[in-house]
Chains A and B, each alone.
Chain A
Amino acid sequence: MANDILVLADHLKGQLSDTTLELVGKAKELAGATGGQAVVALLGAPDLAGQITGADAVLTVDHPALADYTPEAWEKALHHIVNERQPRLVLIGNSTIGMDLGAGLSATWDAPLVAYTVGLEADGADIVATAQVYGGKLLAEVALSGERGICTVVAGSFPAAAGGGSPAAEAIAPPAGLDDLKTAFLTLVEPEGGDVDITAAEILVSVGRGIGSQDNLDEVQELADALGAPLSASRPVTDAGWLPKTRQVGKSGLKVKPKVYLTFGISGAPEHLEGMRDSELIIACNTDANAPIFDVAHYGTTLDLFDLVPAMTDTLG
Chain B
Amino acid sequence: MRIVVPVKQTPDLVEELELNDDGTDVDREFLKFVLSEWDDQALEEALLVKEATGAEVVAVGFGDPDVELSLSTALAKGADRAVNLTGLGDGWVSSHTRAEALAGWLSGQDVDLVLAGVQAVDDLDGQLPPLLAATLGWPHVGVVIAVEGKDNTIQVSQEFGGGRAARLEVKLPAVIGVQAARQPPRYASITRIRQAQQAGGIEEAAVTASGAGAGITVRRLFEPEKAGHAEMLTGSPEDVAGRILDLIRSKGVIK
Is residue B89 within 8 Å, beta carbon to beta carbon, of the partner chain? no
Q: How big is the B interface, by class? A: 35 or more
Give the one of A142, A181, A294 with max B CB within 10 A: A142
Is residue B158 within 8 Å, beta carbon to beta carbon, of the partner chain? yes
Is residue B133 within 8 Å, beta carbon to beta carbon, of the partner chain? yes
- A68 CB to closest chain B CB (Å) equals 7
- Whether B141 contacts A71 by the Cβ 8 Å rule is yes
- Whether A308 contacts B237 by the Cβ 8 Å rule is yes
- Whether B158 contacts A96 by the Cβ 8 Å rule is yes
- Whether B130 contacts A239 by the Cβ 8 Å rule is no
Is residue B174 within 8 Å, beta carbon to beta carbon, of the partner chain? yes
Write out the residue numbers on chain A whose beta carbons fall within 8 Å of the beta carbon of B234.
Answer: 301
- Whether B228 contacts A295 by the Cβ 8 Å rule is yes
A-B contact count (CB 8 A): 279
- Whether A239 contacts B125 by the Cβ 8 Å rule is no
- Whether B174 contacts A142 by the Cβ 8 Å rule is no
- A306 CB to closest chain B CB (Å) equals 9
- Whether A182 contacts B139 by the Cβ 8 Å rule is yes
Is residue A186 within 8 Å, beta carbon to beta carbon, of the partner chain? yes
- A183 CB to closest chain B CB (Å) equals 5
- Whether A107 contacts B135 by the Cβ 8 Å rule is yes
- B37 CB to closest chain A CB (Å) equals 8
- Whether A312 contacts B241 by the Cβ 8 Å rule is yes
- Whether A96 contacts B161 by the Cβ 8 Å rule is yes
Which of A22-30, A42-50, A132-140, A163-171 is the contact stretch? A132-140
Given A103-B126, A189-B166, does the pair A284, B230 have CB atoms closer than 8 Å? Answer: yes
Given A107-B135, A138-B221, A299-B247, does the pair A183, B170 have CB atoms closer than 8 Å? Answer: yes
CA distance A137 to B224 in the complex (A): 7
- Whether B122 contacts A144 by the Cβ 8 Å rule is no
Is residue A85 within 8 Å, beta carbon to beta carbon, of the partner chain? no
Chain A residue, CB-CB nearest to B126: A103
Chain A residue, CB-CB nearest to B238: A311
- Whether B165 contacts A141 by the Cβ 8 Å rule is no
- Whether A104 contacts B231 by the Cβ 8 Å rule is no
Which of B9-17, B46-54, B59-67, B73-81 is the contact stretch? B9-17
Given A114-B125, A143-B219, A152-B126, does the pair A252, B163 have CB atoms closer than 8 Å? Answer: yes
Given A191-B164, A303-B240, does the pair A283, B247 have CB atoms closer than 8 Å? Answer: yes
Given A138-B26, A262-B244, does the pair A104, B134 have CB atoms closer than 8 Å? Answer: yes
Task: Report B168-191 residues with CB < 8 Å from chain A CB.
Answer: 168-171, 174, 177, 179-180, 183-184
Task: Report B124-180 residues with CB < 8 Å from chain A CB.
Answer: 124-131, 133-135, 139-143, 155, 157-171, 174, 177, 179-180
CA distance A68 to B164 in the complex (A): 13
- Whether A100 contacts B142 by the Cβ 8 Å rule is yes
Given A284-B230, A300-B230, does the pair A251, B240 have CB atoms closer than 8 Å? Answer: no
CA distance A7 to B253 in the complex (A): 42
- Whether A185 contacts B237 by the Cβ 8 Å rule is no
Chain B residue, CB-CB nearest to A275: B161
CA distance A191 to B126 in the complex (A): 29
- B35 CB to closest chain A CB (Å) equals 14
Write out the residue numbers on chain B whose beta carbons fall within 8 Å of the beta carbon of A251.
Answer: 161
Is residue B206 within 8 Å, beta carbon to beta carbon, of the partner chain? no
Is residue A69 within 8 Å, beta carbon to beta carbon, of the partner chain? yes
CA distance A316 to B255 in the complex (A): 10
- Whether A100 contacts B140 by the Cβ 8 Å rule is yes
- Whether A301 contacts B248 by the Cβ 8 Å rule is no
Write out the residue numbers on chain B whose beta carbons fall within 8 Å of the beta carbon of A288.
Answer: 14
- Whether A133 contacts B159 by the Cβ 8 Å rule is no
Is residue B97 within 8 Å, beta carbon to beta carbon, of the partner chain? no
- Whether B121 contacts A135 by the Cβ 8 Å rule is yes
Task: Report A199-229 residues with CB < 8 Å from chain B CB.
Answer: 202-203, 227-229
- Whether A184 contacts B168 by the Cβ 8 Å rule is yes
Is residue A157 within 8 Å, beta carbon to beta carbon, of the partner chain? no
Chain B residue, CB-CB nearest to A143: B217
18 CB-based A-B contacts, threshold 8 Å: A71-B142, A99-B127, A100-B143, A103-B131, A104-B134, A107-B131, A107-B135, A112-B215, A112-B216, A115-B125, A131-B124, A137-B17, A142-B218, A142-B219, A146-B215, A183-B139, A185-B166, A283-B248
Q: A202-B251, A302-B232 are in contact. List 16 more A-B contacts (CB 8 A).
A: A99-B119, A99-B143, A103-B131, A112-B215, A137-B13, A139-B222, A142-B219, A184-B170, A185-B168, A186-B168, A227-B248, A252-B179, A298-B230, A299-B243, A299-B247, A301-B232
